[in-house]
Amino acid sequence: MSIAPASPPHLLVVEDDPELLGLIHTMLADEGYGVTPAASLPESLRALQEHLFQFVLTDLFYQPEQRNPLQSIQPLIEQAMPTPIGVMTAWPIPEEKIAEADIAFLLRKPFDLDDLLGKVDAQLHPTIRSIRQSTLVEEFFLALNTHDWPRLTRLCTPDITVAPPIAVSGTRIGLPSYLRYLERRLSLLPGFTIEEAQVFPRLDGVAARYLAGWQRRDGIKHRAAGSMRFRFRSGRIAQIEGAF
């Protein structure tokens, strides 16, 4: 038996409103998630027979004669077990019923798509890993600011690959070449500093947007924004894309 390499989480999304299903599908796909849509309970059960999912997001197919609204998705809950399930519904459901069914979260309709994404992210992103990776990126920018190349080297794997801007010839360069490039580049930008950086945990690493400033030859302070993407291995930065 072999285990497939790590890949972005794959979600099953079950919703009988085609417009809402399309909006959720598009949003999650744009964030890098794999999505299998299902427009009905039978369709979702067939999908569960054919695929493995890291998370199930479902509407309720509730009939008023049912005493417990969650009964409508009981076959889904049983077949998906132990896959976590998030529920979207406008029906009032007592908190104790949610706890009894072991539902990951309940989002009441109408809801904001960003709220939905936040709840999904909270379920599927290891918070500790995200904090550690974000801290590494923050340290990277600090080392870059102070030209502390030994510190920067310690943050990276020995075989790190760098996909630099078009200004650098070649498609990828290793860490030694990247450091030499940085030294040359920064020598042309007196007073270069990363003034501000914001990191964004992603499915496969960390994205960062930064604002840099330096002194131009005419003495005027120049500022420009840029972005980078970092991927990690064994607790260190293993790949940089869009590197300064």
How does pLDDT run along the chain (244 residues), one tens digit per residue?
Answer: 333 334 678 899 999 999 999 999 998 998 888 999 999 999 999 998 888 888 999 998 766 666 677 778 889 988 888 788 999 988 777 777 777 777 889 898 888 888 898 889 888 765 566 778 888 999 999 998 888 999 999 999 888 888 865 444 455 677 888 888 888 877 777 788 888 887 877 767 888 878 788 887 777 888 777 788 899 887 889 999 876 6
> Mapping DSSP to helix (H, G, I), strand (E, B) and coil, where does residue 222 land?
strand
Angle, alpha carbons 169-174-176 (nearest 5°) = 100
Tokens 């010839």 label which residue? 169
Q: Where in the chain is the domain with CATH 3.10.450.50?
A: 127-241
Q: Please tell me the predicted confidence (pLDDT) of residue 3.
A: 32
- The answer to whether the beta carbons of residues 200 and 215 sit under 8 Å apart is no
Q: Please tell me the predicted confidence (pLDDT) of residue 164.
A: 63
Q: Please tell me the predicted confidence (pLDDT) of residue 5.
A: 36
Q: Please tell me the predicted confidence (pLDDT) of residue 165.
A: 54
Q: Please tell me the predicted confidence (pLDDT) of residue 141.
A: 92
- DSSP H or E run through 45: helix 41-50
Distance CA 165, CA 172 (A): 10
Q: Please tell me the predicted confidence (pLDDT) of residue 147.
A: 86
Which pTM value belongs to this model?
Answer: 0.51
> Mapping DSSP to helix (H, G, I), strand (E, B) and coil, where does residue 132 land?
helix
Q: Please tell me the predicted confidence (pLDDT) of residue 64.
A: 63
Give the domain 10-124 fold: Rossmann fold (3.40.50)
Q: Where in the chain is the domain with CATH 3.40.50.2300?
A: 10-124
- What is the DSSP secondary structure assignment for residue 212, as one 8-state letter? E
Give the domain 127-241 fold: Nuclear Transport Factor 2; Chain: A, (3.10.450)
